[in-house]
Amino acid sequence: MILLEEAGRRLKTARERKPHDSQNFSCRRAHRAHPTHGNHRLRRQSDGRIPQIGSESGWRAAETSVSKSEAQKRNITLKIADAQQKQENQIKAIRSFVAQGVDAIFLAPVVATGWDAVLNEAKDARIPVILLDRDIETANKSLYLTAVTSDSVHEGVVAGEWLAKNVGTKPCNVVELQGTVGASVATNRKKGFDEAIAKHSNIKMIRSQTGDFTRAKGKEVTESFLKAENGGKNICALYAHNDDMAVGAIQAIKEAGLKPGKDVLIVSIDAVPDIFKAFIASEANATVELTPNMAGPAFDALIAFKEKGTAPPKWIQTESKLYTPTDDPQKIYDSKKGLGY
């Protein structure tokens, strides 16, 4: 979660915050469309603190780091509450942000459901909420201004199609490491991959379990897959919903005496630097990039909304690009490693 506040001034409570300029037509129009449209200029400061969903993955670390620098570039204060992957902590943090009367809240929702009550509180306080990198399930889309996310079903499709193309007509048993249960990205990445492999009767999903987006859990669950599947000999490929779990799986596969990337193909999502190291070592085969820069487009949408009354589209989609070891992994590793992964 991210909040913005005004420099050098006492934080105003939601009640104290002035309604926007009624002479400004675009402001009035934006307020009709989005009742959270409050102050019509975004307040900024150079001093920054940061918030986040947790620290489950290298991608998350980079997203936090990139969010900080995107805020700094725009002279915006950013505070981060570490919710340690718990929805209840995220809800508490939102309530505290609302009580402080912040200018906006960015929310990376750990799970998809259960947000209506607290987002209604933010809406009543006229604080715009922008979703970052994960979606929520709600019948009331006016609870948030926009969502900056990738198409996570498509990510799963890209991973599944890569596998289908690479195994051809050979029979292939796949095991899957899912992300956090209830997270939109976990549900969608599974859905997309399942859809893609359903078109190929030679490819079968034989085991699927959550690894909670962490390296440690990815390793642990892979160990149990290997044990259950003849020491891994029945497994042709492993699909992980993020690279961190794939890196944990690679370790488990090596410890079982198999060659990841050859005996067991590895396809995952995120494109963090460590997966490019695995490409260089011929231990992983493909990854679908998720940009860590979700905050940049979110800040731009927020500034345009606050300053000009421009309502953003409900979904700002980020790109999902496939990388394989043929894409100069050393160069990509070098270009990414300074981003805070």
Residues that bind ligand AHR (CB under 6 A): 56-57, 59-60, 133-134, 185, 213, 242, 244, 269-270, 290
Q: How far apart are CA 239 and CA 108, in angstroms?
A: 24
Q: How far apart are CA 254 and CA 276, in angstroms?
A: 17
Nearer to ligand AHR, 34 or 60 (CB): 60
CB of 154 to ligand AHR, least distance (A): 13
Whole-Å CA distances, 68 to 20, 80, 107? 28, 9, 15
CB of 56 to ligand AHR, least distance (A): 5
CB of 213 to ligand AHR, least distance (A): 4
Nearer to ligand AHR, 39 or 85 (CB): 85
Q: How far apart are CA 153 and CA 156, in angstroms?
A: 5
Whole-Å CA distances, 339 to 47, 274, 287? 21, 13, 18
**Burial track 75-90 (b if 16+ CB lie within 10 A, e otherwise):** ebbbbbbebebebebb
Nearer to ligand AHR, 162 or 305 (CB): 162
CB of 100 to ligand AHR, least distance (A): 26
Q: How far apart are CA 248 and CA 70, in angstroms?
A: 30
CB of 201 to ligand AHR, least distance (A): 29
Nearer to ligand AHR, 213 or 276 (CB): 213
Q: How far apart are CA 116 and CA 101, in angstroms?
A: 19
Token reading at 281: 């070592």
Nearer to ligand AHR, 70 or 103 (CB): 70
CB of 55 to ligand AHR, least distance (A): 9
Token reading at 78: 């950013």
Nearer to ligand AHR, 59 or 115 (CB): 59
- The three-class DSSP label of residue 80 is strand
